[in-house]
Chain A
Amino acid sequence: MFLEQLLNGLQLGLVYALIALGYTMVYGIIKLINFAHGDVFMVGAYLGVLGYTVWKLPFPVAVVVAMAGAAVLGVTIERLAYRPLRVRNAPRIAALITAIGVSLFLEYFSSLRFVFGPNYRVVDRPFKDVRWQLGPLGISNIQVIVLLTVIALLLLLQFVVYRTKIGKAMRAVSFDMDAARLMGIDVDRVISFTFAIGSALAAAAGILYVMAYPQIYPFMGIMPGLKAFTAAVLGGIGNIPGAVLGALIMGMAEVFTVGYVTSDYRDAVAFSILILVLLVRPAGLLGKAGPEKV
């Protein structure tokens, strides 16, 4: 039972991690909490599901299409909603409120009948359900797919951020935006790229989420988005390994509370951990301490 719960926690935590990365990367670069991120996750999930059900694409192609679609959406949001504010040096709170506005817009626009519609839908999986029993440990193919996909994406992200030119530019902009601009880095392009990666990861998370918990509706992004944001803060917002660590802690806390205490305290325990950690380490587990204005 312990191993199986560990696996459940890993699955939940890794999906949170994919979403949390989007929050943390955007924050790391432009110090903005992009509240619309949970809704990009939702749109990505819809695109993926429509891809292989309505448009009849092969499943891996549908995933790529959804990630690309979400990346375009993320960049568009940045272009239309956040960049104009940044260019005019608007106060940070204005950008935050805009993010909430974009989030509500995506939710209610998606609820319209000619978009995705307001109703819950059961998602049919594109592959058969398989379950293996390894001694006391039961594993389903969904869990294996989630674990492998997330780990592959995390490695890919690690490669992009630390081994490519654009990754270097991202780190430079995150370190000091003005200095980076003086060094000839196209800051706006780097920011767009960050939004694109974060949104693509959210789309992947969205598809994995509806594979694991086969149901889809326009407000599905709110709770996972909130929990992933919490995970990002827990790990130290702006820090990539921190987001993954925070997400795993959140997932494990939820699952083990249900497994060994009672399901009534599921969210209470997860959020208590957040409060306790922030009391001891205000910048989060792996965050840099320093003057912050949020």
Chain B
Amino acid sequence: MRPVYALGAGVHPWGKWPDKPQLQLALEAMDAALADAGVAWPDVQALAAASSRFEGGMGWGLHANEVVQAVAEQGMPCINVGGACAAGVIALQSAYSLIASGQYDVVAALGAERMPKGFIPRPPGGKDDRTDNDYLRWVTMGATNPAYWAIEARRRQHDHGTTAETLAKASVLMRRNAAGNRYARYRDPVGVEEVFASPMVADPLHLLQICPVSDGAAAVILGSEDFVKRSGKPAVWVAGCAVGSGQFGDPARRIPTIATTVREGIPHTSEVVGAVRRAFEMAGVAPKDIDVLEMADNTAWHILAWPELFGFYEPGQGDWMLENGKLAIDGEIAVNPSGGFLSFGEATTAQALLQVAEVLWQLRGQAEGHQVSDAKVGMTAVLGLGANGGSVILTR
């Protein structure tokens, strides 16, 4: 395998953009990424696009083809990948492999999404019977996505004594981080009182402890060592890049299933933990080496639980870490200096690439307004429907 480098990244700010079709968001993110990498469309040899679910792609998920037909009909391979909320990292893995294999020298990965309002609706194609989990969870008990996370959070309170106040402070930290990030949608800081004053959605989670849905787009340009040397462009090493799916016996409450068979010794959220472990192994680093962790905070519970699952510290210690400022931008390990999904909202297929862009800029010292001091090693972690997980490690 050849080493792979991140040449540049581009992000369209997250928000609600009713006047911009999904293709427009994609093109703007690509333009920004090309400019950041100091390359142009003629340099790009292949495009891997996360296939957005809600719009575009000619109805067949052909998002890469839609983009090249708009701006770059130069015969390049178009790879269109699924993976729901983790699709962006699967696109990146595809781009990474094309370079690592020696086939190409400059490849782009792209994700763009315009989300419908409210609870994410049931996907088309399922049968109205017991063979469709998404049908079952609605008709038998009306289990919304936040209810799944709330069940995890309630159990954490039982196991580790996590207080409502600590759970609220996770949201407070995310909004404080986002205040300095011009790409984030919600940039007004909030206090614990405001979190408590927001409507209770699924106990113990209030509205401000659950990520909303947004429109957004992100792109990352990867390059080979040969290209980096030839062009003389500054680049950051992609030291680890891994995707995976769930393991049998995982105790996580997996959306949209209504039951789980649990086995001892299988990690919680195994699709992400498995990818994180593989990324650590590829990069030859351990949790103690990580300066920045950009992870999917679908809820405040994730901020407390996920670093524990990845081995950053012992189960239950997340509360103390948060309360003592260890997860802040100037703490021991900066968790989501970007502000995370709690401040951005989910733009499902784009968000994993947003995480990689953030880590890249952090390592370059270009995270204006929310920079982690002297960040050398950064990691991403993301989860998608269907038990998809992925993780990327960049080092400088």
A complexed with B: no
Interface of A toward B, CB cutoff 8 Å: none
